[in-house]
Amino acid sequence: SYKVEAKRFVRRLFIQSAPPFVVVASVVISQPATMMATHLFVLFSLSSSLVPLASATSSPDDGDIASICSHTDYVSLCINAALTYGHAYAVIDAVSLLDMHIHMASDHTHTVKDLASHLAAKPSTSHSVKQALGICIKLYGDALDDLVKGRHAIKARDEGTANSMLSGVISYYSTCDDAFTEIPASNPLSKQDGTLMHIVSNALALAHLILSKGA
Q: Kindly report the CA angle at 181 between 179 and 183, in degrees rounded to 5?
A: 80
- pLDDT digit string (tens) for 51-87? 333 333 344 555 689 999 999 999 999 999 999 999 9
- Distance between CA atoms of 28 and 23, rounded to whole angstroms? 5
Q: Looking at residue 87, what DSSP letter applies?
A: G
| 174, 167 contact by CB (below 8 A) | no
What would the pLDDT profile of 100-111 be if each residue is shown by its tens digit? 999 999 999 999
Average pLDDT, the chain: 80
pLDDT at residue number 142: 98
Burial of 17 (0-12, 13-18, 19+ CB in 10 A): exposed
Q: Say whether pLDDT at 122 is over 90.
A: yes
Which helix (DSSP H) or strand (DSSP E) does residue 194 occupy? helix 190-213
Q: Tell whether the model's pLDDT for residue 44 goes beyond 70.
A: no
Return the domain boundaries, the chain.
1-215
CATH class of the domain at 1-215: mainly alpha
Q: Whose CA is closest to 189, among 199, 175, 210, 200?
A: 175
pTM of the entire predicted model: 0.74
pLDDT bin (cut points 50, 70, 90) of residue 212 is confident
Would you say residue 215 has pLDDT above 50?
no
Please say whether the beta carbons of 210 and 155 come within 8 A.
Answer: no
pLDDT exceeds 50 at position 125? yes
Provide the CA 215 distance to its chain's centre, in angstroms. Answer: 23
Q: DSSP assignment of 110-134, as one string?
A: HHHHHHHHHHHH-TTS-HHHHHHHH
pLDDT (0 to 100) of residue 23: 32
pLDDT tens profile 19-37: 333 333 323 323 333 344 4
Q: Cα 116 from chain centroid?
A: 16
Helix (H, G, I), strand (E, B) or coil at 30: strand
Q: What is the pLDDT of residue 9?
A: 52
DSSP 127-179: HHHHHHHHHHHHHHHHHHHHHHHHHHHHHTT-HHHHHHHHHHHHHHHHHHHHH
